[in-house]
């Protein structure tokens, strides 16, 4: 049973997650085959202050260019 994990900033609606689950399932079956009912997807919502990239938190203002 394939497991797909999606980590993203919080704020997406249930409907957005529902459509994402449909799209990911469809894409997986089209590329890898398998039974759509066996595919599991776990969404993890992460607060921006709990995610860092480029040495700064996601909640930090973007540096001026």
pLDDT in tens, 11-44: 999 999 999 999 999 999 999 999 999 999 999 9
The domain 3-48 having CATH identifier 2.30.30.230: the answer here is: no
pTM assigned to the model? 0.86
Handedness of CA 19, 20, 23, 28 (dihedral sign): negative
pLDDT at 52 over 80: yes
Q: What is the pLDDT of residue 37?
A: 97
pLDDT at 63 over 90: no
- Tell me which residues are annotated as active site: 2
Question: Domain ranges in the chain?
Answer: 3-48
Q: What is the pLDDT of residue 65?
A: 77
Provide mean pLDDT across the span 53-61: 94
Could you give the 3-state DSSP secondary structure of residue 26?
helix
């Amino acid at each position: 049973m394939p497991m797909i994990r999606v980590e993203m900033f919080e704020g997406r609606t249930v409907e957005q997650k529902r459509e994402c689950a449909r799209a990911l399932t469809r894409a997986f079956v089209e590329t890898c085959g398998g039974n759509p009912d066996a595919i599991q997807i776990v969404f993890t919502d992460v607060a921006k202050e709990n995610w860092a990239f480029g040495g700064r938190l996601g909640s930090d203002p973007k540096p001026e260019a």
